[in-house]
């Protein structure tokens, strides 16, 4: 069941007896449970009609027993159980034993007065398992993975609309570059933008430069973009800022190498005919990062990228062995890139 489809059904008052929300985007999982709560349980009843369990501490038998128990002073109840790792291929710790037969039996005859939600932070479930096949056949799986590049930008615009402001052209994309692709982080940045610009205001890229607190990873992402565009003055300015903030030069080298490695992987897989969505899944990065890397890859041939990575590996070794001053080594690396 697609995430948006499930939300539309919930808004219409159509509830499935069991949902399994899985994926790496925890914000979407939280939003799904919140929407269910709002549409299923009256506000004054939520204290005793919503039960939450951690499956790392509670066996599934106890959760199902709760689901089969009549609600107290309410027509319906919501039972949410997080950490359903037994649905994935991950090795279970063995601290709690879960009876899958009990869950399979409940799936065939769920309580009419309960909506049961199982959640797990995993991109994939183990479809070799009978219970996962049963849940899939019953259309109870709700994927909550990372949004694609276009979806992410659209989602940001929608959040801005709800908050009463708008993004100037290019500003939503700039916010993603500054803050990353985590929805939880982006929500906080949208709130910050709303407070800054006020109702009816328009956030520009210049505003974002003052408002958004960037992580070192995002700064390196931007630095590499400056390098690719041969804006070396901007690259040196960003390096100086990172050093002023006491970022470790070896860490900076490692992150620059990671970004160039992504560029090389994207270039290689694009040449093999993979789509950007497929590449994102293969190398484990967000589709938006793949789109940016694909644009950057066009400015380098494969041999040049491999040479840059070798230079970074040599620089890392020389830094760690004390054969070169760390800051000087980074500056010389950027100068060589500019000269080339």
CB 81 within 8 A of CB 111: no
- What's the pLDDT score for residue 93? 65
Is the pLDDT confidence value at 205 over 70?
yes
Tokens of 189: 């940045």
- What's the pLDDT score for residue 45? 93
Q: Please report which confidence band the pLDDT of residue 275 belongs to, taking 50, 70 and 90 as the band edges.
A: confident
Burial of 157 (0-12, 13-18, 19+ CB in 10 A): middle
- For 56-74, what is each residue's pLDDT tens digit? 999 999 999 999 999 988 8
Query: Could you tell me where the DSSP H helices lie in the chain?
Result: 3-11, 26-40, 46-49, 60-68, 100-108, 130-137, 149-163, 171-179, 183-197, 205-211, 216-228, 232-244, 249-271, 276-283, 287-297, 302-320, 326-339
- What's the pLDDT score for residue 231? 87
The residue-averaged pLDDT of 115-144 equals 94
Q: Please report which confidence band the pLDDT of residue 271 belongs to, taking 50, 70 and 90 as the band edges.
A: very high
Q: What percent of the chain has pLDDT over 70?
A: 99
SS3 134: helix
- What's the pLDDT score for residue 277? 81
Write the DSSP assignment of 201-263 as a string of letters.
-EE-HHHHHHH----HHHHHHHHHHHHHTT-HHHHHHHHHHHHHTT--HHHHHHHHHHHHHHH
Q: Please report which confidence band the pLDDT of residue 151 belongs to, taking 50, 70 and 90 as the band edges.
A: confident
- For 278-317, what is each residue's pLDDT tens digit? 888 788 787 888 888 898 898 889 999 999 999 999 999 9
- What's the pLDDT score for residue 214? 75
Is the pLDDT confidence value at 22 over 90?
yes
Tokens of 191: 């709130």
Q: Which of 284, 291, 265 is nearest to 123 (CA)?
A: 284
Is the pLDDT confidence value at 213 over 80?
no
CB 135 within 8 A of CB 37: no
8-state DSSP, 50: E
- What's the pLDDT score for residue 94? 64
- What's the pLDDT score for residue 133? 94
Domains of the chain from N-terminus onward: 3-143 (3.40.50.300), 149-211 (1.10.8.60), 216-339 (1.20.272.10)
Q: What rounded mean pLDDT belongs to the chain?
A: 91
pTM of the model: 0.72
The residue-averaged pLDDT of 109-127 equals 94
The set of residues, in sequence order, having a beta carbon less than 8 Å from that of 257 and lying 6+ positions away, is 309, 312, 313, 316
CA distance 20 to 41: 19
- What's the pLDDT score for residue 326? 94
């Amino acid at each position: 069941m697609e995430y948006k489809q499930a939300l539309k059904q919930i808004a219409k008052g159509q509830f499935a007896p069991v949902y399994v929300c899985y994926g790496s985007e925890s914000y979407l999982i939280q939003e799904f449970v919140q929407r269910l709560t709002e549409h299923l349980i009256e506000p004054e009843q939520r204290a005793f009609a919503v039960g939450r369990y951690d499956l790392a501490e509670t066996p599934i038998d106890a959760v199902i027993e709760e689901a089969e128990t009549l609600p107290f002073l309410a027509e319906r109840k919501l039972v949410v159980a997080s950490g359903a790792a037994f649905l994935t291929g991950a090795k279970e710790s063995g601290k709690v034993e879960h009876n899958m037969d009990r869950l399979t039996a409940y799936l065939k005859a769920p309580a009419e007065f309960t909506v049961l939600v199982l959640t797990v932070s995993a991109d994939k479930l183990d479809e070799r398992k009978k219970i996962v096949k049963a849940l899939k056949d019953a259309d109870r799986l709700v994927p909550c993975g990372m949004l694609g590049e276009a979806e992410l930008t659209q989602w940001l615009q929608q959040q801005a609309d709800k908050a009463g402001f708008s993004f100037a052209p290019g500003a939503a994309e700039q916010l993603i570059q500054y803050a990353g692709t985590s929805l939880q982080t982006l929500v906080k940045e949208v709130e910050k933008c709303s407070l800054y610009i006020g109702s009816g205001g328009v956030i520009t890229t210049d505003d974002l430069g003052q408002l958004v607190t960037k992580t070192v990873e995002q700064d390196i992402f931007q630095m590499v973009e400056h390098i690719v565009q041969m804006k070396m003055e901007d690259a040196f300015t960003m390096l100086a800022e990172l050093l002023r903030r006491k970022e470790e030069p070896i860490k900076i080298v490692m992150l620059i190498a990671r970004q160039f490695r992504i560029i090389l992987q994207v270039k290689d897989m694009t040449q093999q005919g993979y789509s950007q969505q497929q590449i994102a899944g293969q190398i484990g990065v967000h589709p938006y990062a793949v789109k940016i890397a694909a644009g950057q890859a066009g400015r380098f041939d494969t041999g040049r990228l491999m040479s840059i990575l070798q230079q970074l590996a040599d620089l890392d070794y020389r830094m760690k062995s004390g054969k070169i001053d760390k800051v000087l080594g980074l500056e010389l690396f950027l100068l060589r890139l500019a000269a080339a």
